[in-house]
Structure 1
Amino acid sequence: MVEKLKGYLKKYFSNGPKAMYIYLTLIVLIVCVVLISSARKTITVSIDGKDKKIMTLSSTYRSALSNNGITVGPKDKTTVSLDNKVENDSKISIKRAVNVQVAVDGKKLDIKSAEDNIEKMLQAEKITIHQSDKIYPKKDSTVKEGLMIVVTRVETKDIKEVKPLDYNTVVKKDEDIEQGNNKVVQEGKAGEKETLTRVVYENGKEISRKVISETVKKQPVQKIIAMGALNVYTPSRGTRIPYTTAMRMRATGYTSDYESTGKSPGDPYFGITATGTVAKRSVGSYSSVAVDPRVIPLGTKLYIEGYGYAIAEDTGGAIKGDRVDLFFDSNSEANNWGVRWVNVYLVK
């Protein structure tokens, strides 16, 4: 094209200096037009999904956009670097940053962001998120104008504590101790247990506490108390008589004579009890009495109201069940006793 123009100009402007000047001027203009035409580029600018075509002579996208009145904010995102060289028929997309608010660590941050979702926005803003933290809305939620994001810091602590382990108190009956009296046989000692408790905090405030494990480090020693189970009978004269069992029995009196035993003096068994002892009446000591061995075993020591201490040494054909026959030295004493209902205590 330029060669054709040169030929045309030579044909009509070949005479004189003035013609040559015009000729050169036109050549320069033509070259400029050609250069400008070749330097001009058409690009598509997409802003938030809306396309617009612009023509530019600028070498970079930054100047091309600026010369066309298109501003790019510091938080806006572009698909092509603004400092890249402009290519004809290329496309650059701009995503405008939107205003969002982030509540985190006791602060409310006003942020502009063009990131796709909350997770990328927090990363871009260098807001550290730990795995246990809670984010609302969810991390994959789209960032949009006016969005309010809440980051809740979640912290878990495991606390070890050594606590006392209470001991048990065991009470055992002891028939060697009078009723109403107790004796500490073994002092109790507290044990120790290690407790592992998991505490969860949200933004520094405790929201839950749960015992994860308990380990006994030292076993407790139980306290043992002997509780008096021994019965004590106290006659009117003040003697304290320990006993195991009390019975209400019909008491009669007997002697060694024939009327009571069917034996007379001279009989080798005269005055001899069923256990082979000599029947006796010992005031202040143990006297002989006859019992039913099925009720009171022979050899058992007794205390009988109104009679005193006795020992079951004898039996009798008529002494059955809840009966006891008391030995006296004379018939007059036996007759004076007569028949009575008395309390009989099995002495311990």
Structure 2
Amino acid sequence: MMERFKTYLKKYFSDGPKIESIIVIGLTISLVVISLIIFNMIKTITISVDGSDKKVTTFGGTYKEILDNNGIKLGSKDKVKPSLDSRVKDKGKLLITRAVLIEVKVDGKKLDIKSAEHNVENMLRAEKIQLSNLDKVYPSKNYAIKKGLKVVVTRVKTKDIKEITNIGYDIVIKNDSEVESGAKKVLQEGQNGEKQTITRIIYEDGKEVSRKVISEIVKKEPVQKIVAVGTLNSDYTFSRGGNLSYAKFLQMKATAYTADYESTGKGPGHPDFGITASGTVARRNSGSYSSVAVDPRVIPLGTKLYIEGYGYAIAEDTGGAIKGNRVDLFFNSASEANNWGVQWINVYVMD
């Protein structure tokens, strides 16, 4: 077109231009230049509001000017991309995301919030609602923001409690043939051990929801209690046959005494001559129960006994020299007492 215009001018002026023609030509050239300038200034862009597109023709400027010229208003939480102060480019696209109303429950409060963020996580960050690694968010952080969405933030905290508790000891029973049947003897006292337990308590919004033991450390091992249980037969077999049932037996030092002055310090004329500490008459009866002197702290008075080599007896008397595991056997005569002498014997305490 320009080449044809140049050819026309050469031809026209070669024939001799007229003033009117020159003016017309000048105006024509000006209009062409202005049209070209205007054509180059016009830009067409797309304005997208929540996914709905609209074509807009403009002479340029910033995106803010375009919105103002087209009566498009923005809310304080609406998001725009690119920024409003960016220069308009031909065939460009302005993305507008309108903020929608959502509800957020957090820290005991219900907040009505407008947000144009992409997802829940970005919304919480934009609203400066901080989360710990343990806090729970419903729906999930990557859930898309939409109108009417309800978001719940649950604050989660933990607390560790350290406790020292006892570890009970075991009781070990051992049979002992040297201990009377049914009798028990503690060979070793038991001792409790110690255990350190760490329990983790989980709280949600200040309320306990669970607790779990996360660590157990034995600080001190328990010590077993060892008890010997007697298995010795409690039936005594006489040399002539027959059995004797007894509760326990003692190995004792046995001496002998009579009712005379040498043994008791009392003569026949003394009112207590021949009388035991129990108030009975001292007697020696080989076919029944005889009197013996004991230490009441070891064998209580009135206890029935069977004494090897002596026979049945009753603990009826005491004596100044009869202390501990000693027994003094009553005989009717000094010769019998002397014949006995001093012996270590088994004394069976009858049931």
When the two structures are superposed, what TM-score results if normalisation uses the length of structure 1? 0.54
Q: Which amino acid aligns with 2:308?
A: K
Deviations 1:289-345 (A, max 9, x none): xxxxxxxxxxx937866x99xxxxxxxxxxxxxxxxxxxxxxxxxxxxxxxxxxxx9
Q: Give SS of 1:65's match.
A: helix
Tell me if the contact between 1:302 and 1:347 (Cα under 8 Å) persists in the aligned partners: no
Shift of 1:220: 3.5
* C-alpha RMSD of matched pairs (Å): 4.9
CA distance in structure 1 between the partners assigned to 2:62 and 2:18 by the alignment: 38
Q: Taking structure 1 as reference, are residues 125 and 251 closer, same or farther at Cα in structure 2, changes over 3 Å only?
A: closer
Deviations 1:202-248 (A, max 9, x none): 12221111112322212344566788x799xxxxxxxxxxx931569
Shift of 1:72: 2.1
CA distance in structure 2 between the partners assigned to 1:251 and 1:191 by the alignment: 53
Counterpart residue number, 1:109: 111
CA distance in structure 2 between the partners assigned to 1:208 and 1:50 by the alignment: 49
Matches within 5 A, 1:1-348: 10-11=19-20, 38-168=40-170, 189-221=191-223, 244-245=234-235, 301=308
Q: Taking structure 1 as reference, are residues 82 and 38 closer, same or farther at Cα in structure 2, changes over 3 Å only?
A: same
Tell me if the contact between 1:302 and 1:346 (Cα under 8 Å) persists in the aligned partners: no
Q: Taking structure 1 as reference, are residues 64 and 225 closer, same or farther at Cα in structure 2, changes over 3 Å only?
A: same
Q: Give SS of 1:139's match.
A: coil
Tell me if the contact between 1:42 and 1:54 (Cα under 8 Å) persists in the aligned partners: yes
Instruction: Tell me whether 201-210 or 172-181 shows the greater mean CA deviation.
Output: 172-181
Q: Which amino acid aligns with 2:200?
A: R
Tell me if the contact between 2:79 and 2:99 (Cα under 8 Å) persists in the aligned partners: yes
Q: Taking structure 1 as reference, are residues 164 and 44 closer, same or farther at Cα in structure 2, changes over 3 Å only?
A: same
When the two structures are superposed, what TM-score results if normalisation uses the length of structure 2? 0.54
Deviations 1:99-123 (A, max 9, x none): 1112122222222222222122223
Shift of 1:50: 1.0
Give aligned-pair identity as a percent. 48
Shift of 1:58: 4.9
Shift of 1:85: 0.6
CA distance in structure 2 between the partners assigned to 1:28 and 1:70 by the alignment: 36
Q: Which amino acid aligns with 1:80?
A: P
CA distance in structure 1 between the partners assigned to 2:94 and 2:18 by the alignment: 44
Tell me if the contact between 2:180 and 2:234 (Cα under 8 Å) persists in the aligned partners: no
Q: Taking structure 1 as reference, are residues 165 and 58 closer, same or farther at Cα in structure 2, changes over 3 Å only?
A: same
Deviations 1:71-111 (A, max 9, x none): 12232222311111112222112111111112122222222
Q: Taking structure 1 as reference, are residues 187 and 63 closer, same or farther at Cα in structure 2, changes over 3 Å only?
A: same
Tell me if the contact between 1:244 and 1:346 (Cα under 8 Å) persists in the aligned partners: no
Tell me if the contact between 2:193 and 2:222 (Cα under 8 Å) persists in the aligned partners: yes
CA distance in structure 2 between the partners assigned to 1:303 and 1:154 by the alignment: 85
CA distance in structure 1 between the partners assigned to 2:18 and 2:124 by the alignment: 68
Shift of 1:60: 0.3
Q: Which amino acid aligns with 1:11?
A: E
Q: Taking structure 1 as reference, are residues 106 and 303 closer, same or farther at Cα in structure 2, changes over 3 Å only?
A: farther
Shift of 1:133: 2.2
Shift of 1:45: 0.7
Aligned length: 248
Deviations 1:121-140 (A, max 9, x none): 22333322333322111222
Q: Which amino acid aligns with 2:210?
A: S
